[in-house]
């Protein structure tokens, strides 16, 4: 018997396993509820019949959790502002050529 240490983290599921779980759950929802929208209809019916957990779920998905609207998300860091103080030089770009021929 091989003893496993208890302090190791659980292995992370691979992308393929996550994608397969999504596909299977989507198929099950369509088979049981008729469509993906059907699950929301069933949840709303349960909320209407007095299921407070179903009502809470609907409200959170529609309007967010209570108190979340008052929190404004500020970016963690702001990008630095870089200003280049380059003063334009006013150099004349024409060449002044005076033709002077000296006779000897």
Q: How far is CA 30 from CA 22, 34, 42, in A?
A: 12, 5, 13
- What's the whole-number average pLDDT of the chain? 81
28 domain residue, yes or no: yes
51 domain residue, yes or no: yes
pLDDT in tens, 30-62: 999 999 889 999 999 999 999 999 999 999 988
Domain region containing 56: 17-63
Report the distance separating Cα 8 and Cα 14, nearest Å: 18
88 domain residue, yes or no: no
Count of domains observed in the chain: 1
Report the distance separating Cα 44 and Cα 57, nearest Å: 9
* 6 has a pLDDT exceeding 80: no
Q: What is the pLDDT of residue 96?
A: 66
Buried b (16+ CB within 10 A) or exposed e, 35-51: eeeeeeeebeebbeeee
Identify each DSSP E strand in 15-88 by its residue range: none
């Amino acid at each position: 018997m091989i003893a496993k240490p208890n302090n190791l983290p659980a292995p992370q599921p691979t992308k393929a396993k996550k994608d397969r779980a999504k596909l299977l759950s989507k198929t099950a929802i369509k088979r049981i509820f008729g469509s993906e929208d059907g699950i929301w209809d069933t949840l709303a019916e349960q909320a209407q019949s007095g299921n407070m957990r179903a009502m809470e779920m609907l409200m959170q998905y529609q309007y967010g959790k209570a108190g979340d609207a008052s929190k404004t998300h500020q970016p963690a860091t702001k990008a630095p502002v870089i200003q280049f103080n380059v003063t334009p030089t006013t150099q004349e770009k024409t060449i002044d050529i005076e033709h002077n021929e000296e006779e000897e």
